[in-house]
Chain A
Amino acid sequence: MRAIAAFFLLLAGVTPAIADEKPVALKDAPGRETVEAACGACHSLDYIRTNAPFMTQQTWQAETNKMINAFGAPIPADSVKPIVDYLTTNYGVAK
């Protein structure tokens, strides 16, 4: 019975969530929370994971600038370096 009940609970948990955004985990490293807040405000974080690991420090910088300048992302100036450092270290390649 417990197994069946557990399965039922699992179904209840799984089915309604199909249409919803599920959490996308980023690597736990310095800067992660800043990245989650800044990037996750406008789009899901799978964009970061799928755009990896080919981006360099330069292209992650350019992408971050684009989000701020072209898309108006409200990212404070002092968050830019931690964001680019995190993305380059965890989702980038050395140039």
Chain B
Amino acid sequence: MLKRRSVLQALGGTMALAAPGFMTRLACAAEVPLTTGLPGGEYDTAVLDALPGKKPLIKLSYRPPNYETPVSYFETEFTPNDAFFVRYHMSEIPTAVDAATWKIKIGGEGAENPAELGLADLQRDYEQVELPAICLCSGNRRGLSDPHVPGVQWGLGAMGNALWKGVRLKDVLAKVGLKKEAIELVIAGTDHPPSPKTPSFVKSIPVWKALDENTLIAWSMNGAPLPRLNGAPVRLIVPGWTATYWMKHLATINAVTQPFDGFWVKTAYRIPTGKFPVIDRFLTQEAPGSTPITEIVVNSIITSPSGPLTQKPGKPIEVKGIAWDGGYGIANVAITTDGGKNWHDATLGKDVGRFAFRQWSYRFAPAKPGSYTVLAKASNHIGQTQADSLIFNPAGYHNNVPRPLNITVA
């Protein structure tokens, strides 16, 4: 039988190790950093919860796992891997992946020489490329649609910026040889639906986008292997386009000569044709009423201060945030402190790449007592800017309406 003192010592040691995490979870349960304007049910359902290999993130659904990144993690240029959002469509997700034996099968009727490539083949036979790019879920901000629309009720954090390392998809396709009749590449991973009747998450991308020099097969994220929940061992990187095309656990690539007719392209992930100011179009899948979502619209958020506050007259305040777009590059972030009457230029941070987050900041010292409404509005190098009011669409995509921060001076 253990003596009382040794039990206490043993417990003390365990508690010293376990207590920080335990206390974090207790503290988090009380305060989930959700933005305003989400459906009411989200506020009493979302919790901070840690998936394997991840910090506590905002859990929107357990199965399949859909976890968003708290906005505080966007204060750095690159989003840490262990805080990067997690999004799955299907509940049967790979619980273990073996990079050493992983194979990507490349073929289809539009390919000349079908091939099977392992990670070692990619790392040995092709030029290695590094590229900073944001991975942004098409449904990011769906929860802020007005009126609300069904789906995962994402707030602001279904996105992240990372430095990806891999090989160009076009180099790999050059080895396989695409026939001139090939129009799309059908891509699939290894997550599976719970029922054989449920359409597996399979996507396609136009050949021209696959051949873009920035489209990569990546195995590394911020200098480390991809986290399992972000697509290990290899995922597709489609810079500028929403993450629906960034296939995780990439296992098959099939070149096809007819438009792919899978549910996740034909029915899901579509926007009303012509309603959004996007340049890139997926024409082999476009219909009069709807068309596949493609590039990310220009957008921004305020990351700090994290919410409304009250301060004394004349006290300086630094408003900070990030801006991004579909890869044309951020040209300007305009700031208003009076709800839109007057606009001023924010100071842009370091340009780490046209597909990446661009940090910005704006300092001012409101002197007069009263209420100040701060808004940020980003513009890109082709003159696109954030929408003043919501362009409603049934899936809640592309919401880039500036979100107000209220500062009270008293």
Contacts and interface: CB of A to CB of B under 8 A. Distances in A.
Contacts of B274: none
B147 A54 contact: yes
A47 B61 contact: yes
A11 interface: yes
Contacts of A1: 4, 7
B150 interface: yes
Interface string B159-199: 00000000000000000000000000000000001111111
A43 B61 contact: yes
B80 interface: no
A49 interface: yes
A35 B150 CA distance: 17
A52 B40 contact: yes
A77 interface: no
Interface string A27-49: 00000000000000111101101
B49 interface: yes
B197 A50 contact: no
Interface string A1-29: 10010011001001100110110100000
B45 interface: yes
A22 B63 CA distance: 10
Contact of A14 (B22, B46, B62): B22
Chain B interface extent, by class: 35 or more
Contacts of B76: none
Contacts, number: 100
A73 interface: yes
A86 interface: no
B41 A52 contact: yes
Contacts of A44: 61-63
B287 interface: no
A70 B262 CA distance: 11
Contacts of A8: 11, 14
A4 B11 contact: yes
Interface string A55-76: 1000100010000001111100
Given A8-B14, A54-B39, A71 B199 contact: yes
22 contacts: A4-B11, A7-B15, A11-B18, A11-B22, A15-B18, A19-B50, A42-B194, A43-B61, A43-B63, A43-B64, A43-B91, A43-B194, A49-B41, A49-B44, A50-B39, A50-B45, A50-B61, A59-B150, A72-B197, A72-B198, A72-B199, A74-B197
In order of increasing CB-CB distance, the 10 nearest A-B pairs are: A72-B197, A52-B41, A21-B62, A54-B148, A44-B63, A44-B62, A49-B45, A42-B194, A50-B42, A49-B41
Interface of B: 4, 7-8, 11, 14-15, 18, 21-22, 25, 39-42, 44-46, 49-52, 59-64, 91, 143, 147-148, 150-153, 193-199, 263, 267
